Amino acid sequence: MDTRLLQTFTALARTESFTAAAAELRLAQSTVTVQIRALEKALGTRLFDRLARGALLTEAGARLLGVAEEVLAAEARLFEAATEDGPVSGRVVVGAGETLCSAHLPRVIAALRGSHPGVEVHLEPCGTVGAVEGLRAGRLDCALLLEEQADFSGITAERVAGQSLALLCAADHPLAGREQPAEWHELARESFFLHEQGCSYSDWLAERLRAVPGARPRLTRFGSIEAARSCVAAGLGLTVLPHANVAEALGEGRLAAVRGPALPHVSVHLAHHRRRRPSRAARAVAAQVVRHFREAGEDAD
């Protein structure tokens, strides 16, 4: 059997759309239709119900999907074994939020260029929801999740580091340099510029501020941490960001740390699809990620 038919089968099962599967596989939609029909004929069973809302797996299709994924994984291992003694090379797509993309992954990529020049890393900025969907759909080889817990169906996640957070303001803000720590009821009267919804530490802070009795905190969310950082540096309000993302601004005096309530550490998890065996290139990227955080002195307990 041509395993390309199984690739088309698994892609259509993930996307539930002939159009989306064709785009993912870079095939004409008619080709996807022909390949699915050919596979159904070869197996002697209908794999999908073609409905107005999409292509949904039949009971037989759902039963055979796991077997198809195992066959494709075995094929990948076969080709990988043929080149096991050669140099590590290949394309690895890594998903991560902007916080990690900007502060950590550039150094990971730079180190890989020295140790494994044949490995090509592509970054896909995305939040946790997008990263998990990308892993499940096969668009991502691995992902970094900035979450305290990373328990998602079909995903294996290993905690590799912790990120400490900083409560920040402009250098001339009244809270800058104040000896007495600010309390939650004071902070709830301030304006906050936070990273977009779905960012674990920003969502935590927003919920904590809203929990203050009678508080109506002024919260502005940005898709870019640079935008939030710039608003705070201009004296417009406060923010919370990982220390790694603001160390330079703190050192240059563009931002100041606010003494306030204790902030949680946010865990960094390295995640991949549970049933997909990482390629040698993906394993090299994962090893460098772990090495980077260890050398950076980030908590990994």
Copy the structure tokens of residue 56. 């949904």
**150 vs 159: CA distance, rounded Å:** 9
Same domain, yes or no: 14 and 69: yes
69 and 125 belong to one structural domain: no
What range defines the domain where residue 32 resides?
3-82
97 shares its domain with 158: yes
Residue 301 lies in a domain: no
Q: What is the pLDDT of residues 36-86, one digit of tens each?
A: 999 999 999 999 999 888 899 999 999 999 899 888 878 877 877 766 666
* Structural domain total, the chain: 3
Could you give the C-alpha distances from 261 to 146, 165, 214, 254, 264, in angstroms and in order?
Answer: 21, 11, 19, 22, 10
> Would you say 240 and 201 are in contact if contact means Cβ atoms under 8 Å apart?
yes
Does residue 37 sit within a domain? Answer: yes
pLDDT tens digits, residue range 3-49? 999 999 999 998 899 999 998 888 999 999 999 999 999 999 999 99
Residue 26 lies in a domain: yes
CATH number of the domain that residue 23 is part of: 1.10.10.10
Quick one: 276 and 242 in the same domain?
no
Above 70 in pLDDT, residue 299?
Answer: no
CATH number of the domain where residue 143 is located: 3.40.190.10
Q: Which of 25, 51, 82 is the last residue of a domain?
A: 82
Q: Is residue 154 part of a domain?
A: yes
163 membership: H or E segment, kind and range: strand 155-163
| Residue 300 domain-assigned (yes or no) | no
**Model pLDDT for residues 148-176, shown as the tens digit of each residue:** 888 999 899 999 999 999 999 999 999 99
Same domain membership, residue 152 and residue 131? yes
Instruction: Tell me: do 26 and 50 sit in the same domain.
Output: yes
The pLDDT of residue 216: 85
Query: Are both 75 and 214 inside the same structural domain?
Result: no
**Residue 244 domain-assigned?**
yes
212 part of a folded domain: yes
- Dihedral sign from CA coordinates of 4, 6, 9, 14: negative
- 73 in the same domain as 19: yes
Residue 185 lies in a domain: yes
Which pLDDT score is estimated for 301?
45
219 contact partners, CB below 8 Å, separation of at least 6: 191, 192, 194, 206, 209
